[in-house]
């Protein structure tokens, strides 16, 4: 049982989004709108989902934990691999490496009483996301590091074009935007399960298909659910002294799931590998 200084009603903007009442017409309208957006655009955004007081607490916590954040700074291709494939030509998307530089604060570093954990573990939040995704029940991830993270970007940090691995959807919360830059961009439906669409992927990576790229508004408190596995996305370089802070959450379709230790070591660093 996780106890928080803030209750769910102090964290989620239940005035606009009565997510705890499944029969409420406003909740039903929210679910319907998000399902349509997810279907048509491959992402949906719920603005002002988290209240400013909770965001302030989260931002302060992330800033306090900065010294323990793992600086994940590496060249990688858009499939999140660091190795190239000599059997493919150098211009193939699998051989195009780009830099990514982010600061990860893992679940185990975050206070048990953090509103971030209260939010993540709340039945009403999990159920709302499950209703939007429409692929059955969702369960908390039980990995020591993965379930809810702060992802921070300092001046010069960025996340290059990539697909998220494996998961059917990705869920993020904007806590504190950058002063400049740090834009969230996406090329929806870049690939499907059946077709890697390498030519199109390569043209997005080369910056030739900006007509397919959308900028997703990231006001503080906005929750975003998107098909990160099928849609190339990136965070543009951050400028200015303000730390860009977002959170990423992992829910699962089966109970009791944990992450792969090797993957965790690449995301969270030596501290995790040594355990």
Residue numbers at the binding site for Fe ion (CB under 5 A) = 164, 228
Instruction: Write down the least CB distance from residue 161 to Fe ion, Å.
Output: 10
Instruction: Write down the least CB distance from residue 246 to Fe ion, Å.
Output: 11
Instruction: Write down the least CB distance from residue 218 to Fe ion, Å.
Output: 14
Q: What's the distance, CA 165 to chain centroid?
A: 12
Instruction: Write down the least CB distance from residue 102 to Fe ion, Å.
Output: 10
Instruction: Write down the least CB distance from residue 159 to Fe ion, Å.
Output: 7
Instruction: Write down the least CB distance from residue 248 to Fe ion, Å.
Output: 8
| Nearer to Fe ion among residue 51 and residue 157 (C-beta) | 157
| Nearer to Fe ion among residue 4 and residue 149 (C-beta) | 149
Instruction: Write down the least CB distance from residue 105 to Fe ion, Å.
Output: 16
| Nearer to Fe ion among residue 37 and residue 164 (C-beta) | 164
CB-closest chain residue to Fe ion: 164
| Nearer to Fe ion among residue 10 and residue 164 (C-beta) | 164
- The span from the CA of 48 to the CA of 55, in Å, is 10
User: 3-state secondary structure string, the chain?
Assistant: CCCCCCCHHHHECCCCCCCCCCCCHHHHHHHHHHHHHHHHHCEEEECCCECHHHHHHHHHHHHHCHHHCEEEEEEECCCCCCCCCCCCCCCCHHHCCEEEEEEEECHHHCCCCCHHHHHHHCHHHHHHHHHHHCCCCCEECCCCCCCEEEEEECCCCEEEEECCCCCCCEEEEEEECCCEECCEEEECCCCCCCCCCHHHHHHHHCCCCHHHCEEECCCCCCEEEECCCCCEEEECCEECCCCEEEEEECEECCCCCCCCHHHHHHHHCHHHHCC
| Nearer to Fe ion among residue 98 and residue 164 (C-beta) | 164
| Nearer to Fe ion among residue 177 and residue 228 (C-beta) | 228
| Nearer to Fe ion among residue 93 and residue 228 (C-beta) | 228
Instruction: Write down the least CB distance from residue 228 to Fe ion, Å.
Output: 5
| Nearer to Fe ion among residue 220 and residue 228 (C-beta) | 228
Which residues partner with 44 through β-bridges? 225
CB atoms within 10 A of CB 17: 21
User: 3-state secondary structure string, 13-41?
Assistant: CCCCCCCCCCCCHHHHHHHHHHHHHHHHH
């Amino acid at each position: 049982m996780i106890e928080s200084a803030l209750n769910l009603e102090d964290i989620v903007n239940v005035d606009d989004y009565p997510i705890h009442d499944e029969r409420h017409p406003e909740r039903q309208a929210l679910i319907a709108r998000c399902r349509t957006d997810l279907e048509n655009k491959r992402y949906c955004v719920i603005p002002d989902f988290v209240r400013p007081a909770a965001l302030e607490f989260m931002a302060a916590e992330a800033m306090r934990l900065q010294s323990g954040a793992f600086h994940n700074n590496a060249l990688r291709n858009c499939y999140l691999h660091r190795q190239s494939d000599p059997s493919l030509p150098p211009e193939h998307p699998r051989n195009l490496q780009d830099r990514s530089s982010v600061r990860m604060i893992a679940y185990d570093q975050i206070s048990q009483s953090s509103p971030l954990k209260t939010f993540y573990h709340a039945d009403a939040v999990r159920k709302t996301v499950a209703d939007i995704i429409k692929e059955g029940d969702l369960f908390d991830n039980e990995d020591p590091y993965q379930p809810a993270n702060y992802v921070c970007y300092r001046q010069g940090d960025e996340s290059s074009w990539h697909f998220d691995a494996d998961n059917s959807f990705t869920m993020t919360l904007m806590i504190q935007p950058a002063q400049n830059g740090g834009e969230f961009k996406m090329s929806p439906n870049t690939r499907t399960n059946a077709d890697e669409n390498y030519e199109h992927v390569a043209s997005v990576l080369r910056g030739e298909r900006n007509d397919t790229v959308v900028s997703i508004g990231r006001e503080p408190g906005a929750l975003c659910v998107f098909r990160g596995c099928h849609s190339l996305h990136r965070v543009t370089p951050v400028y200015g002294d303000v730390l860009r802070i977002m959170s990423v959450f992992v829910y699962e379709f089966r109970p009791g799931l944990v992450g792969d230790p090797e993957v965790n070591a690449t995301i969270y660093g030596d501290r995790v590998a040594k355990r």
